Amino acid sequence: MDSCKGGFMMVRSEQLFSKAQPKSLAGKIIQFPLVRIFAVVMFILPYLLIRNNFLADLVASSSGVVHIVLVIADAAVSLFVMLLLYRLYAKWIEKREAVEISRSKSLSELGFGILISFGLVGFVVLFMVLLGYYRIDRIDSPETLIDAFVFFGMGAFVQVLAFRLVLFRLAEELLGSWLAFVLIAGIFGIVHLGNPEAGVWSTVSLILGDVLLFAAFIYTRRIWLVWGLHWGWNFFQDGVFGMPNSGVTELVSWIQPVIQGPEWITGGGFGIETSYIAFFISLLVGLVFLKKAVDKKQIVSPIWDRIK
């Protein structure tokens, strides 16, 4: 791994390719990227099923200090187990070290991603406050803030694991960076079509807004920066400022606001993902990271170009 300017650790794109060299037909089939997507899911899914069926209700039914302790413990254990299972998948199936989840500079990259998202969401909220479109109705307890921080952190982790480390990374090994982005960003936008208030613009904004997460990942080729961005955006948008998260309004929020104003600024019932202001500033930051990734030669060509 190489150090990037700004304190990031940069993993070269080829370090995330499988190092396995099977000789049998079965081994070659297993190493096909689409098959490996299924394989890594089989490593992690059993734990998620056990956790969701046996532990989730226990955490949800608790309250007060006990609830906070259980929430943090559940998140810590889940994070440890899923990272361990992913590491074992990389070692046993792809015959390589899982450098994309290495701990070096992990906290600084995670924190920087959260800080960027705070700046993006905070700018939009401040803009709405100054225009009189956002005001605080009431503020919930500090326990709600802690609950929201952990909840959105783990939700973002699972999504980053699924969409970046599994779907995008393995699709990219086959299709190259650009085609893989179109495919995975399209899937990301489509899976949100079932959300309340979803429509054509919300889908387009999610697909193009995914440039930020896509670029942050291919720049460092590590989980931490992109996780921080995703975590921070969801946490500050919904967990702190109480705005809908991709149309979902039932999630935990610290501030209960009153939002009234044009949807092109506030995002309406879907949330600020569809705000023109939030869309353009997040896209701008994404393009900055994308340029850095291109300059660092982190773009992967399709397999049919690499094997010429």
What pLDDT, on the 0 to 100 scale, is given for residue 3? 54
Considering Cα of 147, then 234, then 179, then 299, what sign does the dihedral take?
A: negative
Tokens standing for residue 216: 């942050």
Could you tell me if 181 and 168 are in contact, meaning their C-beta atoms sit under 8 angstroms apart? yes
25, 53, 200 from 183: Cα distances, Å: 28, 31, 17
What pLDDT, on the 0 to 100 scale, is given for residue 5? 52
End-to-end CA distance of the chain: 27
What pLDDT, on the 0 to 100 scale, is given for residue 1? 62
145, 156, 250, 270, 298 from 238: Cα distances, Å: 10, 13, 10, 11, 33
Give the amino acid at 197.
Answer: E
CB neighbours (10 Å) of residue 142?
10
Q: Which residues of the chain have pLDDT under 50?
A: none
Provide the residue ranges of all domains of the chain, joining segments of one domain with +: 12-306
Report the predicted TM-score, pTM, of the whole model to 2 decimal places. 0.93
- The average confidence (pLDDT) of the chain is 92
Q: What is the pLDDT of residues 131-178, one digit of tens each?
A: 999 999 999 988 899 999 999 999 999 999 999 999 999 999 999 999
